[in-house]
Amino acid sequence: MAVVELKAVSKSFQSGESLLTVLDNVDLTVNEGEVVVVRGSSGSGKSTLLNLIGGLDTPSSGDIEACGYAVSKLGERDLTEFRASRLGFVFQFHYLLKDFTATENVMMPAFMRGMPRAEATERAQALLAEVGLSERQTHYPTQLSGGERQRAALARALINEPPLLLADEPTGNLDAENSLRVEEQLLELVRRHGTSLIIVTHDDRLATRGDRTLTLERGALVTS
Ligand SMILES: Nc1ncnc2c1ncn2[C@@H]1O[C@H](COP(=O)(O)OP(=O)(O)OP(=O)(O)O)[C@@H](O)[C@H]1O
Ligand SMILES: [Mg+2]
């Protein structure tokens, strides 16, 4: 079953007098549980692509469906529901809240959706254990290493068991060793949870680890 479906999606930005076409008639189908790696040079439109799928931006033309939602046509209220219930997002920067512990940060999205605190906490602790942070539950973000912060962000993205995870260079800020660790954990987690993953990376090692690698060049998404 398709978790993500893009049909003839184009995205252009007006820059001064000229129109910059970043995505040109892109088609993409991602199936349940599939791991798709997206590569492409800086400025090729990788973040734009993920933002469109996650409903953070709207296409200039074309249709986007994700997890049964017509993302490109949703109003703000349905978009919020879509993101909260179906989507996990990890970025290059962790966006953990500094006044909250690792456990509190991870449980927050579940708690916000109405899960009782005790249950959300328990689930957060289990996820932190999965990413090797059992001993860091009560640490604040400033008391975690860069890699640990990204792993906590990963746990947070999965707390509501989303069928789809979007990751935009989640290891972009880490050194080689930590990148590898976070990537391994990310892949292990999505495989174990049956989550579909679209991940943008510059890392050659990761490119071979997905089910499929796609490259964005001159507005087109090509199989590589
Ligand atoms: N809101 C915007 N307005 C105008 N141009 C934009 C906007 N957002 C992105 N762009 C342009 O679209 C192109 C693609 O940007 P995008 O952020 O998707 O690239 P990227 O592949 O993620 O690059 P990087 O690897 O550097 O993160 C860039 O040339 C950028 O300048
Ligand atoms: Mg980007």
Has residue 172 got a pLDDT over 90? no
CB 216 within 8 A of CB 40: yes
Task: Name the average pLDDT for the chain.
Answer: 93
Backbone angles phi, psi at 139, to 5 degrees: -75, 145
The whole-number pLDDT of residue 198 equals 97
The whole-number pLDDT of residue 149 equals 94
pLDDT band at 181 (very low <50, low <70, confident <90, very high): confident
pLDDT band at 176 (very low <50, low <70, confident <90, very high): confident
Q: Does the beta carbon of 95 sit less than 6 angstroms from any atom of ligand 1?
A: no
The whole-number pLDDT of residue 69 equals 96
- With respect to residue 120, please indicate whether it lies within any of the assigned structural domains: yes
Task: Return the best residue to mutate from 11, 18, 47 for the ligand 1 pocket (most ligand atoms within 8 A of CB).
Answer: 47
Task: Return the best residue to mutate from 44, 199, 217 for the ligand 1 pocket (most ligand atoms within 8 A of CB).
Answer: 44
**How many structural domains are present in the chain?**
1
pLDDT band at 213 (very low <50, low <70, confident <90, very high): very high
CB 220 within 8 A of CB 21: no
Please report how many Cα atoms fall inside a 13 Å half-sphere around the Cα of residue 133, on the Cβ side. 34
Q: Does the beta carbon of 22 sit less than 6 angstroms from any atom of ligand 1?
A: yes
Backbone angles phi, psi at 186, to 5 degrees: -60, -50
**pLDDT tens per residue across span 20-79:** 999 999 999 999 999 999 999 999 999 999 999 999 999 999 999 999 999 999 999 999
Measuring CA to CA, which residue among 221, 198, 224 is closest to residue 62?
Answer: 221
- With respect to residue 128, please indicate whether it lies within any of the assigned structural domains: yes
Percent of the residues in the chain that have a pLDDT greater than 70, as a whole number: 100
pLDDT band at 180 (very low <50, low <70, confident <90, very high): confident
pLDDT band at 15 (very low <50, low <70, confident <90, very high): confident
Kindly report the CATH number assigned to the domain that includes residue 202. Answer: 3.40.50.300
- Range of the structural domain that residue 192 is part of: 2-36+46-223
Q: How far is the CA of 46 from the centre of ligand 2 (A)?
A: 5
Q: How far is the CA of 27 from the centre of ligand 1 (A)?
A: 19
Q: Identify the residue with better confidence: 212 or 206.
A: 212
What residues have CB less than 8 Å from 131, skipping those under 6 apart?
A: 151, 152, 154, 155, 185, 189
3-state SS string for the chain: CEEEEEEEEEEEEEECCEEEEEEEEEEEEEECCCEEEEECCCCCCHHHHHHHHCCCCCCCEEEEEECCECHHHCCHHHHHHHHHHHEEEECCCCCCCCCCCHHHHHHHHHHHCCCCHHHHHHHHHHHHHHCCCHHHCCCCHHHCCHHHHHHHHHHHHHCCCCCEEEEECCCCCCCHHHHHHHHHHHHHHHHHHCCEEEEECCCHHHHCCCCEEEEEECCEEEEC
For the segment 109-131, the average pLDDT, to the nearest whole number, is: 95
- With respect to residue 53, please indicate whether it lies within any of the assigned structural domains: yes
**Ligand whose nearest atom lies closest to the CA of 44:** 1
Has residue 175 got a pLDDT over 90? no
Nearest CA to ligand 1 atom 2: 13
Task: Return the best residue to mutate from 20, 60, 169, 199 for the ligand 1 pocket (most ligand atoms within 8 A of CB).
Answer: 20
Q: Does the beta carbon of 221 sit less than 6 angstroms from any atom of ligand 1?
A: no
The whole-number pLDDT of residue 178 equals 83
- With respect to residue 41, please indicate whether it lies within any of the assigned structural domains: no
Could you identify the atom of ligand 1 that is nearest to the CA of residue 15? Answer: 4
Q: How far is the CA of 46 from the centre of ligand 1 (A)?
A: 8
- With respect to residue 32, please indicate whether it lies within any of the assigned structural domains: yes
**pTM for this structure?**
0.94
Q: Which of 17-26, 50-59, 154-163, 167-176 has the lowest mean pLDDT?
A: 167-176
For the segment 133-139, the average pLDDT, to the nearest whole number, is: 96
- With respect to residue 54, please indicate whether it lies within any of the assigned structural domains: yes
**pLDDT tens per residue across span 189-211:** 999 999 999 999 877 787 788 99
